[in-house]
Amino acid sequence: MSTTTEPYYGDLEKTDIIANLLSVPKEDRNESWTRDFITNIPTASFRCGDPQVIAGPDGFPYFQLFLPEPNVPFTCYVLDRIKDDFLLDRGFGVVFNLVNGEPDYVLSYGDILNWHLNKEFYTEHSAFSKENTDEVIVEDEEVLVGQPNENILPNYTKKLLGDYLRLNGVKDPKMALMMRKDKNGQEFSQDLAFNIGPENFENEDVYRAVMRNLSWYLPRHYSFVGIADGDLKNDFESI
């Protein structure tokens, strides 16, 4: 299904580090283990699974990667290369070493996107407000509205978000980047805004589920809100 555009090779030293890390019993893995793992996976050599792509328990598609088997020829897959070859464009997460239904590690699409944009899978500090709620623009509130640029949200990710919302019944999904002053009125924070609310769905539970699932496509530090189309009608753009 997914193939590399040309043969390439990973860093075998990183591959050995990953192999040693995966030999650690799961009950003994701590924050240090996680830090070492995510530091070394981008350029290590992996083989793909069969099938290459599976549906996770969350319903999203994941590309399977496994460590190479000793003395067995394999096609090399390197995370830092395949993200550009097909992961980001097609909307895949990655699951590592899935055996008997138990993975060693899982990256969402948003985690991989964050690596692509920021060279880290998880970002602690950012301008995003960390709000994931319904929003109402308060009268006289200072709000600036624009569109997220490619360094925040590439066009292929916008398309995936739009496709997901259309799949869930939103006829014309739109978004914007909303910036406003924090509660102390000192600094601006930002949120992605989508033109959706409970009224767009069968019931509020469905709406909440759709909102939760949007986070799979986004870096974990991103915040996003559902907001009535009328409040920002002229500022939203279709995705």
Q: Residue 41 in contact with residue 97, Cβ under 8 Å?
A: no
Distance, CA of 166 to CA of 190 (rounded, Å): 25
- CA within 13 Å, CB half, 238: 5
Give yes or no: residues 69 and 139 share one domain.
Answer: no
Give yes or no: residues 73 and 141 share one domain.
Answer: no
For residue 206 the two structure tokens come to: 């469905």
Average pLDDT, the chain: 90
Helix (H) or strand (E) holding 39: helix 31-40
Q: Residue 65 in contact with residue 97, Cβ under 8 Å?
A: yes
The per-residue DSSP string of 111-180 comes to: HHHHHHHHSSS-----SB----SEE-PPTT--EEEE---TTTS-HHHHHHHHHHHHHTT-SS-EEEEEEE
Give yes or no: residues 106 and 199 share one domain.
Answer: no
| 58 lies in some domain | yes
Return the pLDDT at 185.
Answer: 62
Last residue of a domain, one of 54, 87, 118: 118
Helix axis angle, 12-22 to 31-40, nearest 10°? 150
Distance, CA of 104 to CA of 116 (rounded, Å): 22
Last residue of a domain, one of 72, 92, 118: 118
pLDDT tens figures, 85-122: 999 999 999 999 999 899 999 999 999 999 999 999 99
| 23 lies in some domain | yes
The closest of 189, 26, 220 to 122, measured between CA atoms, is 220
pLDDT tens figures, 126-179: 989 876 555 555 445 678 899 999 999 999 999 999 999 999 999 999 999 998
Give yes or no: residues 201 and 103 share one domain.
Answer: no
Return the pLDDT at 4.
Answer: 47
For residue 75 the two structure tokens come to: 């096609």
Phi and psi dihedrals of 84, rounded to 5? -85, -30
| 2 lies in some domain | no
Last residue of a domain, one of 118, 150, 175: 118
Distance, CA of 183 to CA of 138 (rounded, Å): 12
Q: Which residue has the tokens 């870096």?
A: 219
Kindly report which listed range (76-80, 160-164, 187-191) carries the lowest average pLDDT score.
Answer: 187-191
| 98 lies in some domain | yes
Return the pLDDT at 230.
Answer: 67
| 209 lies in some domain | yes
| 228 lies in some domain | yes
Give yes or no: residues 202 and 149 share one domain.
Answer: yes
Return the pLDDT at 224.
Answer: 93
Give yes or no: residues 17 and 72 share one domain.
Answer: yes
Q: Residue 158 in contact with residue 175, Cβ under 8 Å?
A: yes
Domain count, the chain: 2
What is the domain extent for residue 165?
134-238
| 139 lies in some domain | yes
Give yes or no: residues 97 and 165 share one domain.
Answer: no
pLDDT tens figures, 37-61: 999 999 999 999 999 999 999 999 9
Give yes or no: residues 140 and 81 share one domain.
Answer: no
| 126 lies in some domain | no
How many secondary structure helices (H) and strands (E) does the chain include?
7, 10
Give yes or no: residues 209 and 233 share one domain.
Answer: yes
